[in-house]
Chains A and B, each alone.
Chain A
Amino acid sequence: MRRAKAFSPTIILSYAVLLLGAFFVIYPFFYMINNSVKTGQEIMHSPTALPEKIVFTGYTGVFDELDVMLLFKNSVFLAGSITVLNTIFSALAAYAFAKIPFPGRDKIFGFMLLTMMIPGVLFLIPTYVLMYRIGWVGHFEALIVPSIVSVFNIFLIRQFMSGIPDELVEAARIDGAGEMVIFTRIILPLARPALATVAILTFMGSWNDFFGPLLYLNRPEQWTLQLGLLQFRGTVPGENAQQIWALTTIITVPIVVVYFFIQEQFVKAFANVSLSK
């Protein structure tokens, strides 16, 4: 199968199907960006055509009607703080599970993995009740605090850290280094690829999340980009096609740029999840 000749019919057919697939994946993105630089009239009458003249009225329109910078700032703040906190605390727990032989470790780890199977829908209502009682509804804490650490990330980092030789850690312990020192000086630098993976996945998840913010951030000055788009689409129907395409482009471009720089890590992260059981 791997050994098929370079220009055999199978190979040519494979490329044909793969390229067609790539076209279908890219086209909607092209459609979005293409329409974001057209006039409203053009979008209506010929949505698939190239722009007769490139205009940026969609972009200026969005900035006029929405406080895009504020939305952007909120999105960055939320995704950024969750990513930093979660990476640090998940790495700490992962290190303990991988390298500190404390009694009960495997039982706790097994239990933790089991909790991943519980459907999230169960937590939706009671968590809201809890947040309401603590008074966190309408505050960023409601989204940040529960995301300080996550099972999935602990698991991913632990799998990686298990591959670091025990001797390294033990030698440091014999030399009298404390666990905190070993963690920051030895483990963290070595685990950088895993930390990067986890940070990327976490950032993407919270950047793209709209349901959490929808539930807990009810004042417009707290809205994220995703909420802005959702509300914007809801309030002004039809007329503002230009602005909608501009806003979707604004939301998508940062994450795509980040993705292209680090895509190898990114794709591997997903593949690893299923292979390491």
Chain B
Amino acid sequence: MSAIAAEGQQSIASVSAKRHTTLLHRMRRNWWGYVFVSPWIILYIVFGIYPLILSFFLTFFNYSFVNPENRQFVGIGNWVRGIEDPLFWKAIFNIVLNQSVFIFLKNGLGLLIASLLFNIKFGGRLLRTIYFLPVITSTVVLMTIGDNLASPGGPIQKYLIDLHLLDGPFFWKSEETWPMIVIALINTWKWFGISTVILLAGMYSIDARLYEAAAVDGANGWQMFTYITLPTLKPQLFFLLVVDVINGLQMFGEVFSIGFNVYGGINNQALTPVLYLYAQAFDRSNVGFASTLGLLLAYIIAALTFLQFKFFRTNEN
């Protein structure tokens, strides 16, 4: 009995010793692997993990770039101030409005164009190339063009006035909510090409026999779209939605490059959370408070991403 136990123990010991040596052996034999990934690891520790910790640390202080020695510990003061700050919530409202319009239009248009491209035989590649043109163009350039086209007295407004859809010049930049909608429209123009390409690639991966079988059963085009195309595109749509929400809620460069100041205009009509954070950090030198705003926004983004994953999972089953 004890002999068997001893033998068993011994064999376990030898197995684990063997595993140990093979692990070391494998590490030694593949040490180049560590060398090759080390640039990323080092950079991520310095420019990823360290800033993340620093960011959290900064939220408990009043801190300015210029004299960091004079930092003051304020406890959770910045957090309370952030949550109570009406401007932060106005910025959140603005960005949610902006992104709701943008994400809906961009992916809706992408889906429409992709289905049409999927239908045709000739010229698809050229058209796709054209739709992708705004994607590769810089934000500052596109916002300059968009701003000019939509400006009071610009071509679009002139055209609308000629059609009697508009009474006179419309100064949308100083209105509430309108800047957010116009920026969403320009951004739709910029980014729908990506949705188109991603969804089109998804459509090509669908088994053509499904459509043939559906056609035999007498399904029409719309039925094929809703029962075959859309359900199969779920991974692509999910991917687009998750990425759009993460990126979209951080939008601010567009506001800046269409000509608003860092406070999003006189009534903060175009203020977005990251723009507000930028203004607090670089205009008012409230670095600790700005850090807190960043974390608050990150929590909101994380919560929304989590909800999307949950919703997608339950839909799956």
A92 within 8 A of B: yes
Contact B239 A31 (CB under 8 A): no
Contact A211 B253 (CB under 8 A): yes
Contact A119 B32 (CB under 8 A): no
In B89-136, the 8 Å CB interface with A consists of 112-113, 116-121, 123, 125, 127-136
Q: Mark B235-255, 1 if CB is under 8 A from A, else 0.
A: 110011000001001100100
Contact A233 B194 (CB under 8 A): no
Contact B129 A119 (CB under 8 A): no
Q: Mark B165-197, 1 if CB is under 8 A from A, else 0.
A: 000000000000000000000000100011001
A69 within 8 A of B: no
Chain A residue at minimum C-beta to C-beta distance from B204: A271
Contact A25 B36 (CB under 8 A): no
In B281-311, the 8 Å CB interface with A consists of 281-282, 287, 290-291, 294-295, 297-298, 301-302, 305
Interface class of chain A by DSSP = helix
Once bound together, how far apart are the Cα atoms of A263 and B125, in whole Å? Answer: 10
Residues on B with beta carbons closer than 8 Å to the beta carbon of A154: 40
In A7-23, the 8 Å CB interface with B consists of 10-11, 14-15, 17-19, 21-22
Contact A14 B211 (CB under 8 A): no
Contact B274 A11 (CB under 8 A): no
B86 within 8 A of A: no
B39 within 8 A of A: yes
A1/B211 contact (C-beta < 8 A), A102-B26, A121-B297, A122-B294 known: yes
Residues on B with beta carbons closer than 8 Å to the beta carbon of A31: 145, 148-149, 155
Name the one of B119, B155, B305 contacting A11, with C-beta atoms under 8 angstroms. Answer: B119
Contact B281 A128 (CB under 8 A): yes
B146 within 8 A of A: yes
A174 within 8 A of B: no
Once bound together, how far apart are the Cα atoms of A129 and B50, in whole Å? Answer: 11
Chain B residue at minimum C-beta to C-beta distance from A19: B127
A130 within 8 A of B: yes
A11/B201 contact (C-beta < 8 A), A119-B301, A208-B137 known: no
29 contacts between A and B (CB under 8 A): A15-B120, A15-B123, A18-B113, A18-B117, A21-B131, A24-B189, A25-B134, A26-B133, A29-B137, A47-B154, A92-B36, A92-B37, A95-B36, A120-B250, A121-B298, A122-B55, A123-B52, A124-B278, A124-B294, A125-B281, A128-B281, A132-B65, A146-B47, A233-B259, A248-B144, A252-B141, A256-B137, A259-B136, A271-B198
The 4 nearest A-B residue pairs measured at CB = A102-B33, A126-B51, A96-B36, A271-B201
